[in-house]
């Protein structure tokens, strides 16, 4: 449906004629398998009328749910993109009932650069929702997802990892709906994915994320962290691949598929506010006294922070503020004030 046209008699009428500046040859309503790109406008010194082509694939067969799968929200996280690239190899021969939209590397400039944020505008896509039609490259991507993809989707999965700065235990992240019927439907998907752990996340009030935006649209949203160090975790990749097959089957999209049985009965854990975060209080070199997956006690020594400019001085000892399991640990030994060093979680009851 064409947008409202500008009034040529009124020079101050600058109403946009298109909802989004990102275009694509993909027709989301067409039956069959399509591949193409999202053309993200990018005018710069060496390409006045250029764009960034971000690959996208769609498979639509008859009536049924729409499932949106994305990876590469951060460009240094690889388990999701690789699992989705492998899924793309199977999509032309898949038999489904509904629509499957797959974008392996959503923040494509960051993915090509192997960095958390975009090398073009330093945008962290997962902190820019709902985005901006007329904003930076990353803001335009967020706006396209929020205005064009979320309204079409019934179920959304966004696949993450710790990236270069973190190592994360393979964990599904969940935000449970308050409505009992939606909650039951949501937990069905959680059980189908069958990650070793499912974590109720506390982002300390952060509401600019992809997940927060998806929830505002009323979609069933799942996320997950499946490795780190800016590498591909073999175990994490297998969990993602098998979990995706089971979730697609549980939604009714791939009723004819026979996905592998779950390897885990997921254990629910929860991040409980700031007491489960360990932050660096100053610059230094951090010596950890814990390992990923370790159970720690409140007040237990977390590590020592050395001052490289005064190495003869006694290091500052940092202690955990609460008990829990270390689910995420910083990769880099060098820290600055405010850097997150570790994240804990405790057993949760639903």
Residue 28 has pLDDT above 50, yes or no: yes
Contact 186, 179 (CB under 8 A): no
Each domain of the chain, given as residue ranges in start order, spans: 23-270, 277-345
**pLDDT, position 126:** 97
Residue 148 has pLDDT above 70, yes or no: yes
Confidence of residue 224 (pLDDT cuts 50, 70, 90): very high
Q: What percent of the chain has pLDDT over 90?
A: 90
Residue 6 has pLDDT above 60, yes or no: no
Confidence of residue 16 (pLDDT cuts 50, 70, 90): low
Residue 5 has pLDDT above 80, yes or no: no
- CA 42, 45, 49, 54 dihedral sign is negative
Which numeric CATH code is attached to 23-270? 3.40.630.10
CATH 3.10.20.30 fits domain 277-345: no
**pLDDT, position 13:** 45
Q: What is the mean pLDDT of residues 165-173?
A: 97
């Amino acid at each position: 449906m064409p947008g409202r046209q500008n009034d040529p008699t009124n020079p101050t009428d600058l109403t946009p004629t298109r909802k989004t500046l990102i275009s694509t040859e993909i027709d989301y309503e067409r039956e069959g398998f399509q591949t193409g790109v999202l053309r993200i406008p990018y005018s710069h010194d060496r390409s006045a009328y250029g764009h960034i082509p971000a690959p996208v694939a769609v498979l639509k067969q008859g009536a049924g749910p729409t499932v949106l799968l994305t990876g590469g929200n951060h460009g240094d996280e690889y388990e999701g993109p690789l699992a989705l690239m492998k899924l793309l190899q199977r999509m032309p021969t898949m038999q489904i009932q509904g629509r499957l939209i797959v974008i392996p590397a959503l923040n494509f400039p960051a993915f090509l650069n192997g960095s958390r944020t975009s090398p073009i505008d330093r945008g962290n896509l997962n902190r820019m929702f709902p985005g901006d039609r007329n904003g930076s490259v990353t803001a335009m991507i967020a706006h396209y997802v929020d205005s064009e993809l979320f309204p079409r989707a019934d179920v959304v999965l966004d696949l993450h990892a710790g990236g270069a700065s973190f190592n994360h235990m393979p964990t599904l992240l969940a935000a449970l709906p308050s409505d009992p019927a939606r909650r039951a439907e949501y937990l069905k998907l959680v059980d189908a994915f069958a990650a070793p752990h499912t974590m109720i996340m506390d982002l300390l009030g952060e509401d600019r994320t992809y997940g927060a935006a998806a929830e505002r649209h009323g979609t069933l949203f799942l996320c997950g962290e499946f490795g780190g160090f800016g590498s591909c975790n073999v175990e994490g990749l297998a969990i993602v691949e098998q979990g995706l097959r089971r979730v697609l089957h549980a939604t009714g999209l791939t009723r004819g598929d026979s996905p592998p049985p779950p390897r885990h009965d997921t254990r629910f854990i929860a991040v409980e506010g700031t007491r489960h975060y360990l932050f660096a209080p100053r610059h230094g070199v951090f010596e950890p006294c814990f390992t990923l997956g370790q159970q720690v006690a409140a007040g237990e020594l977390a590590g020592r922070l050395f001052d490289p400019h005064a190495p003869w001085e006694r290091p500052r000892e940092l202690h955990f503020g609460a008990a829990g399991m270390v689910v995420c640990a910083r990769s880099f030994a060098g820290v600055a004030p405010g850097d997150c060093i570790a994240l804990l979680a405790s057993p949760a009851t639903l």
